[in-house]
Amino acid sequence: MWHFRLWKVQDVAVFLCGTLYMCHIAGAISIHSPQRRLTRSVQEDVFFSVNVLCNGIPTIQWTFMSGEVSRSIGIWQPGVYTNLTVDYSSRVQTYNNGSMGLSDLQLQDAGYYVVTVTETTGSSKDTGFVLKVNELLYEDLQYLSVSALVLACLASLLILAVWLLDQAYRKIVAWGRRKQMPENDATELQPL
Ligand SMILES: *[C@@H]1O[C@H](CO)[C@@H](O)[C@H](O)[C@H]1NC(C)=O
Ligand SMILES: *[C@@H]1O[C@H](CO)[C@@H](O)[C@H](O)[C@H]1NC(C)=O
């Protein structure tokens, strides 16, 4: 009985130690990000600002997710190596604190950006960003001005056509009158 009780105490102690250790591991990484929802326009740049704190050198991995698409953007260890996916290599900028810059945004870039930080002990933590990409405003304006130009051209063509028709009509009428003139004279000359 006494023996059994002792074991229980030991179990509890082991369990507590384990929990504390796990908490210590999980708490070792902290990811601070001031803003997690971002809205940009096409062709603009975005900066996903995070500050990763942990013991030792973290491995930082960024992943893009949208619908069923899940694409690795890059993985790096500050000061050790940087490995960016080919599609992104020309547009992505990496920072030692884990932040990532993405330039020349396209509509397809809208979605979730997840940063996963892994420590040498194997523990990891992640945080996500939501990026909304709007179409350029001036594209709409361009479209509007082009439509206005097309409409103006059509209108002037119509006016020109009407003017030409009018001129042609006048000519025809005048020509018809000239042709009828002798007949009229003849009728006028006829004695009543
Ligand atoms: C991370 O580093 C970049 C560049 O040094 C800085 O602009 C940014 O504010 C940092 N992010 C945070 C959350 O501290
Ligand atoms: C990192 O580089 C290796 C080849 O050295 C490649 O197989 C792997 O896909 C790369 N990972 C990323 C996330 O770009």
Instruction: Give the pair of three-digit tokens for residue 79.
Output: 């000061």
Query: Which long-range contacts (C-beta less than 8 Å, at least 24 apart) are formed by 136-145?
Result: 136/41, 136/42, 136/43, 137/41, 139/42
pTM: 0.63
Distance 66 CA to ligand 1 centre (A): 25
- Please check whether residue 124 is in contact with residue 116, taking contact to mean a CB–CB distance below 8 angstroms: yes
Instruction: For residue range 84-106, list pLDDT tens digits in order.
Output: 999 999 999 999 999 999 999 99
Is the beta carbon of 85 within 6 A of some atom in ligand 2? yes
Please give the biggest Cα pair distance in the chain.
155
- Please check whether residue 126 is in contact with residue 75, taking contact to mean a CB–CB distance below 8 angstroms: no
Atom 8, ligand 1: which residue's CA is nearest?
49
Instruction: For residue range 154-192, list pLDDT tens digits in order.
Output: 999 999 999 999 999 999 999 988 888 765 555 555 555
**Ligand closest to the CA atom of residue 93:** 1
Instruction: For residue range 36-78, list pLDDT tens digits in order.
Output: 999 999 999 999 999 999 988 999 999 999 999 999 999 999 9
